[in-house]
Amino acid sequence: MSLDPEGQELRIAALLDVLDQEHARVREAMAELKATGAALRQDVKSAAERAVQDAFRALEGDIHSARGVVMELRRFSLWRATWQHAMLALVAIVVTLLAVWAYVPSVSDLNALRAQQAQLEGSIEDLNQRGAKVALSHCGPKRRLCVAVDESAGIYGELGEPYRIVKGY
């Protein structure tokens, strides 16, 4: 079936008119779709903000409780550290007092030692005045106490016991 050129033109014009109408409808649909997308985006954003705010409000009590727990733990740890330091100081003091008690002589012992020292110093002075410059040693296989003697001074004694002059006198 062949149409005349004028019929074909009319048909093409009608098709173009329909195509223009479809094109306008598609543009309107896209504009509505953009508007709907923007509205949906705004609705989602608002819903998300509300959800976040609601979540924060719901967590606010828990956050406040957690803050209280942290403050209580901080207070407890401060008291615990103070208690530990006090106990350590007390133990150090007790150990020091026990060491002093065990190793430092009492006042009466110190006085007795001073009296003994004075007596010994007096004895040393007496021996020094008498010329006590005796050289002592250990002699023989039994390591017995012996003194150096002056052989040139001779032998003295009664009843057969020999006495000798100590060297240096």
pLDDT value at 105 more than 70:
yes
| Paired tokens of 128 | 């020094």
Region of poorest pLDDT, from 69-73, 131-135, 152-156, 163-167: 131-135
Q: What phi-psi label fits residue 145: left (phi over 0), alpha (psi between -120 and 50 degrees) or beta?
A: beta
Lowest mean pLDDT among 21-35, 92-106, 144-158: 144-158
Domain ranges of the chain: 1-77
Residue range 128-135: mean pLDDT, rounded = 74
Phi, psi of 53 (to 5 degrees): -60, -40
Q: Are 148 and 135 in contact (CB under 8 A)?
A: yes
